Amino acid sequence: MGQITLRYWAAAKAAAGVESDVLSVDGPLTVAAARERALVLHDHDADLARVLAVCSVLVDDRPVGTKDPGAVSVPVGSSVEFLPPFAGG
């Protein structure tokens, strides 16, 4: 058994109410599965779901970009970072 760390930034952190969560996993997850596990941990909070739906995602500092979240693997021991859009320059 291993772990995957979910980190929330800005509005995602505010919606989750925590800076991060640690998932216990038996193997790799997809980004989509990691996002769903985050929602389960936070009782399918509507605000968190809305924010996560528009977040940019990094897996171990690598941007997921426009790739299908259901096809992007998150290895055991990795981190997934949820970065909401922000304004400014």
Question: What are the domain boundaries of the chain?
Answer: 2-83
CA pair distance 80, 55, nearest whole angstrom:
11
Q: Which strands make up the sheet holding 20-25, listed edge to edge?
A: 20-25, 2-8, 79-83, 56-59, 62-63
pLDDT at site 1: 87
The domain 2-83 having CATH identifier 3.10.20.740: the answer here is no
Burial group, residue 6, by CB count within 10 angstroms (0-12, 13-18, 19+): buried
76 vs 89, more confident:
76
Q: pLDDT, tens digit, for every residue of 34-44?
A: 999 999 999 99
Can you tell me whether residue 4 is helix, strand or coil? Answer: strand
Residue 26 clears pLDDT 90, i.e. is over it = yes
- Kindly report the number of other CB atoms within 10 A of residue 63's CB atom: 12
pTM over 0.95, yes/no:
no
